[in-house]
Amino acid sequence: MALVSWSDEYSVGIPRMDMQHQRWFDLINMLHQAMAQGEADTKVGAILEEVRAYTRTHFSEEEALMEQYAFPGFTGHKRVHDAFIKQLDDMVRMGGNSRVLLSMEAMRTMKDWLVRHIQQMDQHYARFLVDKLPPEPPPPPLFRMKSSGVH
C-alpha cells in the first residue's frame, strides 16, 4: 500500500510540475516499500540519492519558471527549497548509520514536507504563473493499446 497517493487536490495546474510532483510521490513510496519489505538497509541510500538528485532538478526547473515570469515570492520560495536540499544532504550523509531509523525519518520528512509545500507554497506561484505560461501539450500516453483484432 502506498504511503502517499496523488490526487487532484495536489495539482498546481501546470502539467509539467504536476508530473514532477507525482514522481516525487513515487520516490517516497519506493522508500516506504523498501521499509515494508525489510530492505531499508540495502535500498535507502540509493533511493535517497535519487530523491536528492530529482529534487535538485525539479527545484531548478520550478525556480527558472518563477524567475522567468518574475514571481514576487521567488526569494522566499527559493530559501525554502535550499533548506530542504540541506535536509536531504544531511539525510544522505547520515545514510551510513542507522538506515532503518533514517528511512523512517526520511519518509516522514519527505511526505510531510512535500504535501505541505505543494498545497501551500507551490499553489501561490502556480496561481501567479498559470495565466502567463503558454499552453503545454498533453503528456504522451505511457503506452498505446494496439487492437489485436480479437474481441
How high does pLDDT run on average in the chain? 82
Residue 130 has pLDDT above 90, yes or no: no
Cell of 91: 539525510
Asked if the model's pLDDT at residue 49 lies above 80, the reply is yes
Name the band, by pLDDT with cuts 50, 70 and 90, for residue 140: low
CA-based Rg of the chain, rounded to a whole angstrom?
A: 18
Distances (CA, A) of 40 to 27, 92, 98, 106: 14, 13, 10, 11
48's CB contacts (< 8 A; 6+ apart) are 31, 88, 91, 92, 95, 102, 103, 106
pLDDT at 20 over 70: yes
With 0.85 as the threshold, say if the pTM is over it.
Answer: no
* Whether residue 142 has pLDDT greater than 70: no
Residue 71 has pLDDT above 70, yes or no: yes
Percent of the chain with pLDDT over 70: 81
Judged by average pLDDT, the poorest of 26-30, 65-69, 86-90, 92-96 is 92-96
Where residue 149 falls among pLDDT bands split at 50, 70, 90? very low
Mean pLDDT, range 95-110, rounded to an integer: 64
Domains of the chain, by residue range, sit at 15-129
For 97, which DSSP code?
S
**pLDDT tier for residue 98 given thresholds of 50, 70 and 90:** low
Position 122 pLDDT exceeds 60: yes
For domain 15-129, the CATH superfamily is Hemerythrin-like (1.20.120.50)
Cell numbers that stand for 2 in this block: 502506498
Q: What is the mean pLDDT of the segment spanning 42-46?
A: 78
pLDDT confidence bin for 151, thresholds 50/70/90: very low
